Amino acid sequence: MSGLSSKHLLGIKSLIPEDIELIFQTADNFKEVINRPIKKVPSLRDLTIANLFFENSTRTKLSFELAEKRLSADVINFSASASSVKKGETLIDTVNNILAMKVDMVVMRHPNPGAPIFLSKHIDASIVNAGDGAHEHPTQALLDAYSIREEFGIVKGKNIVIVGDILHSRVALSNIFCLQKLGAKVTVCGPPTLIPKYIESLGIEVEYRLDSALAKADIVMMLRIQLERQGKEGNQVNYFPTLREYHQQYGLTMERLDRLNHTPIIMHPGPINRGVEISSSVADSSTSIILNQVENGVAIRMAVLYLLAS
Ligand code: CP
């Protein structure tokens, strides 16, 4: 297979396993490139890419920008908070104005689920979804699965437990689709109020007790509580009594890991809330691959942009 099956990357759900394998093989080549003294290749030197961020980001925004620059693309950055969106301009008008400046590809993060799918029906340029509300975050899931493949050599057959705010997590949904397409076994764990009722219909297991979930995990993926999507006011939390109680029930601590008779790999997409879903001693431990995930994000995003451009 020489190209992806779609001109956009809108979500993992619409990818075929061959797409994922091609992205991984291409990322292997780019990972070698970014570890060279000269980290740049001319692959996209004729392309202009717009990064449109309608929602805050640290890792994804910087990682895409670095990936684009490593591929020699011209890059423009747009942040909704400093734009004419504040004056009432619509999404389609904003994007069409940017495309009129001869932009070839759009990377977009948006708080509304489905915004990149909607946009793909109205513009010709390729779109990469950099996270749309609580829907999908495809490049995060790709870099997560790639990091698991790097750690174990294979994703198929591994037991992955995703812990936390599954209800509001685009990372969880994209990872469920991606890991299942690669043959892994996925379990989600969290308070019943933060596990969607439909989730078992996706063919995954649900555990409400963290210690039971950890007992079978090769990999533990911890998620942040997304207070900004929970209708939170001040310090109030709406889906469980207190953050302190959440930490007691679902926080990953060294004491919990020490009770296991095996050593799972620890992952987190970031941003981390230390002392809530994960203790600092676990986040910074030798079995944590959190910073490897960030490093792999650049190679995966280079691969996605390169394959969509070709
Ligand atoms: N993992 C992730 O999407 O982080 P940012 O929100 O900082 O981009």
DSSP codes joined into one string, 85-154: GGGT--HHHHHHHHHTTT--EEEEEESSTTHHHHHHTT-SSEEEEEEETTTB-HHHHHHHHHHHHHHHS-
What is the per-residue pLDDT for 84?
Answer: 82
Q: Comparing C-alpha atoms, which of 275, 250, 138 is closest to residue 188?
A: 250
Residue 73 alpha carbon to ligand 1 centre in Å? 22
Q: Which of 62, 139, 140 to mutate to test the pocket of ligand 1 (most atoms within 8 A of CB)?
A: 140
In the 8-state DSSP scheme, what is residue 80? G
- Write 83-92 long-range contacts (CB < 8 A, 24+): 85/54, 91/54, 91/115, 91/118, 91/119, 92/119, 92/122, 92/123
Q: How close is the Cα of 62 to the center of ligand 1, in Å?
A: 9
**CA 61–ligand 1 middle distance (angstroms):** 8
Give 142 Cα–ligand 1 centroid separation in angstroms.
14
From atom 5 of ligand 1, which residue's Cα is the shortest distance away? Answer: 57
pLDDT tens digits, the chain, 310 residues: what are they? 679 999 999 999 999 999 999 999 999 999 999 999 999 999 999 999 999 999 999 999 999 999 999 999 999 999 888 778 888 889 999 988 988 889 999 999 999 999 999 999 998 899 999 999 999 999 999 999 999 999 999 999 999 999 999 999 999 999 999 999 999 999 999 999 999 999 999 999 999 999 999 999 999 999 998 877 776 555 557 788 899 999 999 999 999 999 999 999 999 999 999 999 999 999 999 999 999 999 999 999 999 999 999 8
Distance (angstroms) between ligand 1 centre and the Cα of 23 equals 20
Which protein residue's CA is at the shortest distance from atom 3 of ligand 1? 60
Between the CA of 201 and the centroid of ligand 1 the distance, in Å, is 27
Q: What is the largest CA-CA distance in the chain?
A: 59
Let me know if 159 is exposed, middle or buried by CB neighbors in 10 A (0-12, 13-18, 19+). Answer: middle
Which ligand 1 atom minimizes the distance to the CA of 269?
Answer: 1
Number of neighbours of residue 278 by Cβ within 10 angstroms: 27
Determine the residue of 56, 57, 79 to mutate for testing ligand 1's pocket, defined as the one with the most ligand atoms within 8 A of the Cβ atom. 57
- Output the ligand 1 site: residues, CB below 6 A: 57-60, 131, 137, 140, 269-271
Cβ–Cβ under 8 Å, residues 192 and 250: no
Do residues 75 and 102 touch, judged by C-beta distance below 8 A?
no
Q: Which of 53, 58, 267 to mutate to test the pocket of ligand 1 (most atoms within 8 A of CB)?
A: 58
Q: What is the pLDDT of residue 229?
A: 73
Judge contact between 141 and 171, C-beta under 8 A.
yes
**Beta bridge partner(s), residue 110:** 132
Place of tokens 């999507």: 229
Instruction: Calculate how far, in angstroms, residue 116's C-alpha sits from the geometric centre of ligand 1.
Output: 17
What's the CA-to-centroid distance between 58 and ligand 1, angstroms? Answer: 6
pTM: 0.95
Q: Which atom of ligand 1 is nearest to the CA of 131?
A: 3
